[in-house]
Amino acid sequence: MDERISLGELARMLLKNRKLILLATSATFVVAMVVSLVLPQWYKARASILPPASVTSTPDIVGIMRFAGVKPTQLPTVATESDVYSAILRSNTVAEAVIDSLDLIKTYKAKNLADALERVFDNTKVTVAPEGIVEITFEDRDRERAANVANAFVRELDRFNRRTSVSSAGRVRLMVEKRLVETRAELGKAEDSLRVFKETTGAIFISEQATASIKTAAEIYARIAQLEVELARLKQYATDKSPEVIDLRLQIGTLQGKIAEMGYVKSSVDHAAGSYLFPRFDAAPSLEQKLADLTMEVEIKRSVYTVLSEQYEQARIQETRDTPTIQILDRAQPPSTRSKPRRKAMVGVSTAAAFLLASAIALYREKHREIGG
């Protein structure tokens, strides 16, 4: 038996049940319209941040992630600072600060902080564009509050960055300050030793080659001191496997090797067949060698002290500075239009679904009537 229905037969059945179909469709249209008007309106506000200039590998920001309460696994293997910003913005640390600053526990009538965090995270979206721009979107029933919360996330990210920077600078300052005091004391002892030696022996002459060597060695030691401070600063967050840490250690090792080649420190390297730009200190006449050693000790301590003083001032300034750490591209503004409910779509989809369902029911009834009849 052929169960297929022709278009004409289909039209006849639908027309026969047009009142039922029209009634169901119209009722659904009215209900959907009323519901869409009754449902609370939501507003979505957006703020965006320009990408930072530098790029950081994941191991170097592990400490920062832990400080923010973010798991390093939330980041890609090689993360840009935009990715780091995104992870920090999605951290409990920043969200709790936003909730506290805007008193959202009271506003949302949340049971506790955990309840408020859940609501905030449900309505927050953080994305990173291919260009590195970080966008924070927050949705709320109050258009003003939506903008305020989005801007609060940006503000708390900046505060977190400042706290981290100040904390890092403070630790570096204390470390440099300790070395500065030690170096100043060593410089005083070296100057006293050189003065006593000159007064005792009357030796005051050093060859031009030895003088050049002393200047070079002093510059090398000053550079080593500078690299060691940079290494200490980096190791607050970086691991031993970090490319930056490995590179700094290689640079320090290379410079220490140059000092060893000059004969200023003992080295296991065989220099017998070597060819050097400057004469080795242990090859100089004994009196000149002693004078050169003492003079070099003074010059090295002076150079290192100068570098450490500069590093100390930089750390002190960094510790006390209060400048923005991020560049805001767009500050969130109260949205002029709602994000949901989408009334036209709701009413349209509901009405169309009601029409199709009513038509299907009508066809089913007609078919069974024909079979029964």
Residue 315 and residue 193 share a domain: yes
Instruction: Map residue 193 onto helix, strand or coil.
Output: helix
- Contact in structure between 296 and 217 (CB atoms under 8 Å): yes
Count the Cβ atoms, other than its own, within 10 Å of residue 151: 20
Residue 267 and residue 174 share a domain: yes
Is 298 inside a domain boundary?
A: yes
Is 116 inside a domain boundary?
A: no
Q: Is 20 left (phi over 0), alpha (psi -120 to 50) or beta?
A: alpha
Q: What is the dihedral of CA 180, 181, 184, 190, to 10 degrees?
A: -110
Is 158 inside a domain boundary?
A: no
Residue 288 and residue 357 share a domain: no
Is 215 inside a domain boundary?
A: yes
Is 50 inside a domain boundary?
A: no
Residue 289 and residue 237 share a domain: yes
pLDDT value of residue 30: 78
Is 201 inside a domain boundary?
A: yes
Residue 287 and residue 207 share a domain: yes
- Contact in structure between 37 and 347 (CB atoms under 8 Å): no
Is 68 inside a domain boundary?
A: no
Name residue, tokens 């506003």.
107
Whether the link from the prior residue into 40 is cis, omega within 30° of 0, is no
Residue 279 and residue 316 share a domain: yes
Residue 239 and residue 357 share a domain: no
C-alpha to C-alpha distance for 156 and 62, rounded to whole angstroms: 20
Structure tokens at 138: 């927050």
Q: Residue 47 contacts by C-beta under 8 Å, 6 or more apart in sequence?
A: 135, 136, 150, 151, 153, 154, 328, 330, 331, 332
Strands in 134-140's sheet, in edge-to-edge order, are: 124-128, 134-140, 43-49, 328-330
Residue 314 and residue 241 share a domain: yes
What is the chain's percent helix, strand, coil content, to nearest 5? 65, 5, 25
Provide the residue type at 8 as one letter.
G
* Structural element, H or E, at residue 128: strand 124-128
- Give the C-alpha distances (Å, rounded to integers) separating 153 from 61, 95, 115, 134: 20, 7, 18, 12
Provide the residue type at 280 as one letter.
R
C-alpha to C-alpha distance for 280 and 270, rounded to whole angstroms: 13
- Contact in structure between 19 and 126 (CB atoms under 8 Å): no
The tens-digit pLDDT sequence of the chain (373 residues) is 345 666 776 677 767 777 777 888 877 777 777 776 666 678 899 999 987 654 333 333 444 554 455 554 454 444 567 888 888 899 999 999 999 999 999 999 989 999 999 999 999 999 998 888 999 999 998 989 999 999 999 999 988 888 777 667 777 788 888 888 888 898 899 888 888 888 787 766 777 777 788 888 888 888 888 888 888 777 766 667 777 788 888 998 888 888 887 766 543 333 333 333 344 444 445 776 777 778 888 888 888 888 888 888 887 777 676 566 788 888 999 988 876 767 677 667 877 887 788 778 777 777 776 665 5
Q: What is the dihedral of CA 118, 121, 122, 127, to 10 degrees?
A: -170
- Contact in structure between 126 and 134 (CB atoms under 8 Å): yes
Residue 298 and residue 214 share a domain: yes
C-alpha to C-alpha distance for 154 and 135, rounded to whole angstroms: 10
- pTM across the whole model: 0.54
Total number of domains in the chain: 2
Is 57 inside a domain boundary?
A: no
Residue 359 and residue 237 share a domain: no
C-alpha to C-alpha distance for 185 and 163, rounded to whole angstroms: 33
Structural domain span for residue 215: 169-320
Residue 286 and residue 240 share a domain: yes
